[in-house]
Structure 1
Amino acid sequence: MINKMPLTVRRSIEIMGIFFLGWLIVLGKGILAPLLMAFFLSIMLLPLYRFFRKYKFPDALSIGISLLALVLALGLIIWFFSYQIASLVSDFPTIQENVTKHLRTLSAWVEDISPLSTAEQTSFISEQSSRILGYAGNMLSGAALSITGIFVFLGLVPIYIFLLLFYKNLLLRFVFFWFSRDMHEKVEGAMREMEVIIKSYLFGLLIQITYITVLLGGILMIIGIKHALLIGVIFAFLNLIPYVGALLGNIIGVLITLASSSELWPIVTVLGVIAAVQFLDNNILMPRIVGSKVKINALASIVGVIVAGEIAGVIGMFLSLPIIAVLKIIFDRTQNFKQWGILFGDERPSESPMVEPALRKDNQKVDQQLERENNIESTDESEHKS
């Protein structure tokens, strides 16, 4: 029925569908954020769950042990953060002294290049500090709600994980009932590919956090930078947020180093080591770990991160890339939405469609050629490997 509609009508319906879908996501973000997080974590726990099921453990017990392993891992991460932050807090008098020294140096430099005296700078800083404190007070007034939301989120995620794993066969049957029999093979292939992509992505992130923490923290510790492990861990976790996280990680690393040192050379050292580790991560390690079955272009990634951040905050930023990857897999396998898969993908043609007419059409040979040119594993290959 839809295929018989004029193309302009179909495109109009797609745009309206995207609008209403976005509206529903904004309205239901409190429900969808923990559900999506639980969905991705449950896929990550599938190998452990299947291991216990292989040895005839009861279904509920297999899920419970898998959840316990996840809780223990998160508990260790929280303990590590608490220990490192406690070490940073214990150095607060030294931090205060170093910050005061750096501010005096900055004040003298500003006085040399501008007509502002030290007294005028102090007055300006005091005025701006009052405004910042007032803004912080307004933010803290709503902190109780946000903390409550965090506890609700953390309470719902394990429940959702348990239920998603417990009812996974029922949910899969529900999915297949949405499609006609001739589409079941494609649906099965898409779901298997999504599982492979999500698991490789999430396990890749775990490995990425580990080696960035070890590399960055270890190198900075050898050099003699204080709170090296804390800088490494913070950067490793923030680096999970595409593009934006790396910038924030650099800023926080510099602030911790600046506050803990009375000299400027450690700042240059920290920035240099971060840049070297990030180059190694982006160009050598991460592509080999996660693989190249699905590539998302930088424009779609940045827009996705910003939009997801506006809708669901930091959680949305973390989930943006796996969600886009899942959507691309679905779009690539459907005739009516294939153009959206092209928009998200990184299969960049060397020629312009304005010059080469073959690029304007849905052509399997052209798609395979683009995948080869951009070093992307074809869908058929990823199916056989999974």
Structure 2
Amino acid sequence: MAFFISIMLLPLYRFFCRRLKFPEMLAIAASLLALIIVGGLIIWFFSYQISSLVKDFPTIQNNVMNHFTALSEWVGRNSPYSTEEQMEFIKTRSSGLLNYAGGLLSGAALSVTSVFVFVALLPIYIFLMLFYRNLLLRFVFFWFPEESHRRVGEALHEMQAIIKSYLFGLLIQVSYMTVLLGGILLIIGIKHAILIGLIFAFLNLIPYVGALLGNIIGVLLTLASSAELWPIFAVLGTIAGVQFLDNNILMPRIVGSKVKINALATIVGVLVGGELAGIAGMFLSLPIIAILKIIFDRSKSFRQWGVLFGDERPDKSPMKVPALRKKSEAVQQQLQRENKVEPPHEE
């Protein structure tokens, strides 16, 4: 995480150094301060929205009980279980549910500790990576023979450009998704519209999985805040419309990444990243796969892995077309043209 954020802070660091003539240490400190201010504003805004949700807790509790009663009556009409039998079933299962909740709370306590450690160490890592960036680059070049240094430099330039465009694009995406989705829901009259938009915008950063979780949380918040059912369909329809606009029009123009990752590699990467590093691993899975693809595409030994991660899908089977079985530059360029994939950017 510190590596990606330090690359994102490089333009700001260079602005302080070159335009404002700050000393190196002061430029790094100013960049970190800007990052902390932005992060603090996001946390404050999220906390403010949560506090407004907590204030409505009595109404939420009443709505939940009404929905539960209606569901219980529906189950009683359409099944052999009466309301009394349903309540008895809930009581017998309540002890197990409480034990499960206790386990979750204990896990959450450990997670909170991990978050504090993460927040404390992250600025230190970012500072050191910016301060020792030239040393780290020298270390990378030392791994390769001198005749390969040009290709290594091209790959490093391309990685930096893709990471910056991707991460800055995600920041812009969170901003306009929160404003667009929250604003539309607010106009419709949905309670806690901005909070729903904010939660969905951040969860949407996790490919595929995040959008599903965002829909579920949006429905639960709406169901708990409203005594009627029509707002649920309004929320789902608005989310679907905004997501279609984001996926097909806004995000491709904002990010404009030259590296396309196929859906299979993305989903597997998200699951593996989640197992290895939790939410942060799921969020970072896509840029990590993009970096690996850049490296693999420029390596003769690992080019097959670049093909596996990429979206250059051949229309014909390699079983019938022998040319598709070879690591040929001409074949690769042809597939990129057919799939409208931009070639690697060289600087």
* Runs of 4+ that moved beyond 3 A: none
Could you say which residue in structure 2 is the equivalent of 1:357? 322
Could you say which residue in structure 1 is the equivalent of 2:217? 252
Do structure 1's residue 281 and structure 2's residue 257 form an aligned pair? no
Shift of 1:277: 0.5
Do structure 1's residue 38 and structure 2's residue 2 form an aligned pair? yes
Q: 1:313 aligns with which of 278, 281, 285?
A: 278
Q: 1:145 aligns with which of 102, 110, 129?
A: 110
Unaligned runs of 5+ in 1: 1-36
Could you say which residue in structure 2 is the equivalent of 1:378? 343
Q: Distance in 2 between matches of 1:190 and 1:49?
A: 22
Q: 1:84 aligns with which of 37, 49, 55?
A: 49
1:317-328 maps to which residues of 2 (within 5 A)?
Answer: 317-328=282-293
Unaligned runs of 5+ in 2: none
Superposed CA deviations along residues 35-88 of structure 1, whole A, max 9, x for unmatched, are xx0000000000000111113210111110100000000000100011000000
Superposed CA deviations along residues 301-325 of structure 1, whole A, max 9, x for unmatched, are 0011011101111111011101110
Counterpart contact for 2:260–2:311, Cα < 8 Å: yes
Shift of 1:137: 0.6
1:1-386 maps to which residues of 2 (within 5 A)?
Answer: 37-55=1-19, 56-379=21-344, 382-384=345-347
Q: Distance in 1 between matches of 2:247 and 2:332?
A: 26
Shift of 1:142: 3.8
Superposed CA deviations along residues 281-340 of structure 1, whole A, max 9, x for unmatched, are 111111111114001100000011011101111111011101110001001010000000
Equivalent residue letter for 2:2: A
> RMSD value over aligned CA atoms?
1.0
Number of residue pairs aligned between Structure 1 and Structure 2? 346
Equivalent residue letter for 2:90: I
Please report the TM-score for the alignment, with normalisation by the length of structure 2: 0.98
- Quick one: percent identity of the two aligned structures? 72
Counterpart contact for 1:239–1:245, Cα < 8 Å: yes
Q: Distance in 2 between matches of 1:282 and 1:71?
A: 29
Change (3 A) 1:96 1:298: same
Counterpart contact for 2:165–2:257, Cα < 8 Å: no
Superposed CA deviations along residues 132-161 of structure 1, whole A, max 9, x for unmatched, are 221111232344332221111111110000
Q: Distance in 2 between matches of 1:129 and 1:70?
A: 45
